[in-house]
Amino acid sequence: MLTKSATVNVMEGAARRAARGLLRDFGEVEHLQVSRKGPADFVSTADLKAENILLEWLSRARPDYGILMEERGIREGADASNRWIVDPLDGTTNFLHGVPQFSISIAHERDGEIIASAILDPVRDELFWAERNLGAFLNQTRIRVSARTLMADALISTGFPFMGKEKHPAYFRTVEAVAPQVAGVRRFGSAALDLAWLAAGRYDGFWEFGLEPWDIAAGILLVREAGGSVSDVSGRNRMMAEGHILATNTHLHELLGKAVRGAMVEDD
């Protein structure tokens, strides 16, 4: 039987406790108190309750770790080497519109490197998790990225800029460049789940601009441990710092990257 490490068990336990409240609130979304951080950037009582549960559980298990959370920002810990990177509700807009595509994302970072991660889809009860050098898993099953080699066969996911978000000057040109080359482009609204699904072979590639560390930290490790490739759009390892990400199976990384970069150059 597959045995998770103590760290993964801590992340799973925290995520599942927060998920119980999210699932209750998801059935009553019309009654939630919702405020705006920006023109289309919502925060609800569901976000805050989930974040409180995660903070309490993770702090109890590892009291010296620092933590980076979407709503609370950075909390320094006595242990300067370790911190959690947490998104209590990735896909808030989906959640508030009754769309069952949202997730809880937790990553364990040590000395600047992600070494363990967990992304929980509460609706489907799917836990995607990974540990560095030990592989990626969906519940108890080992997962791998797809083996597709042709762009024409590939299903690609992305995220579109929306009201209140800075519009990357080349973004829609990249969509125009990629879409004619592939079997389809999807935009489901949860970057964490996009990366988890890529790790599980449901997608063949993913790119997006302007993301935050909590959106992608857990997913980066999942894709890599599932045998995929992750970089920023220019091919460097600056996804967490810059917020731009390109992730694929190993066969399509250069092909998708070339299409995206070509559109950006053309726009410039």
Could you tell me the sign of the dihedral formed by the alpha carbons of 28, 188, 43, 86, in that order?
Answer: positive
CB 35 within 8 A of CB 42: yes
- One domain, residues 14 and 132: yes
Q: Given this model, what pLDDT does residue 168 score?
A: 60
Residue 163 sits at φ, ψ, to 5 deg, of -50, 130
pLDDT of residue 39: 43
Do 14 and 137 belong together in one domain? yes
> Which of these three, 87, 108, 142, is where a domain ends?
142
Q: Tell me phi and psi for residue 140, to 5 degrees.
A: -110, 10
Choose one of 119, 142, 165: the last residue of a domain: 142
Domain range spanning residue 56?
6-142
Look at the chain and report how many structural domains it folds into: 2
Q: Is residue 119 situated within a structural domain?
A: yes
In the structure encoding, which two tokens stand for residue 257, read together? 């990257």
CA angle 94, 98, 103 (to 5 degrees): 45
**Range list of H helices, the chain:** 6-26, 45-61, 92-96, 171-178, 191-199, 213-225, 239-242, 253-267
pLDDT in tens, 57-105: 999 999 999 999 987 889 999 999 999 999 999 998 898 888 999 999 9
Q: In the sheet where 73-75 sits, what is the strand order?
A: 73-75, 65-69, 79-90, 103-110, 113-121, 126-131, 135-138, 141-142
- Same domain assignment for residues 68 and 89: yes
Can you tell me the distance from the alpha carbon of 159 to that of 184, in angstroms, rounded to the nearest whole number?
14
163-190 pLDDT tens trace: 545 556 668 889 999 999 999 999 999 9
Residue 1 maps to a domain? no
pTM: 0.92
* DSSP assignment string, 198-209: HHTTS-SEEEES
Residues 218, 117: contact at Cβ < 8 Å? yes
Pair 119, 158 in one domain? no
Percent of the chain with pLDDT over 70: 89
Q: Which amino acid is at 8?
A: V
CATH of the domain at 228: 3.40.190.80
Q: What is the CATH number of the domain that holds 108?
A: 3.30.540.10
Do 128 and 166 have their domain in common? no
- Residues 189, 105 within the same domain: no
Q: Are residues 232 and 226 in contact, defined by beta-carbon separation less than 8 angstroms?
A: no
150 phi and psi angles, rounded to 5 deg = -110, 135
Asked if 120 and 178 sit in the same domain, the reply is no
Do residues 162 and 132 both lie within one domain? no
Cα–Cα distances in Å, from 35 out to 45, 53, 259? Answer: 9, 20, 38
27/128: higher pLDDT: 128
Helices (H) and strands (E) in the chain, counts: 8, 15
Q: Assess if residue 205 is contained within a domain.
A: yes
Q: Is residue 217 pLDDT above 90, yes or no?
A: yes
In a shared domain, residues 106 and 187 = no
More confident residue, 30 or 2: 2
Cα–Cα distance measured from residue 172 to residue 266, given in angstroms and rounded to the nearest whole number = 12
Q: Is residue 155 part of a domain?
A: yes
Burial degree of 48 (CB within 10 A; 0-12, 13-18, 19+): middle
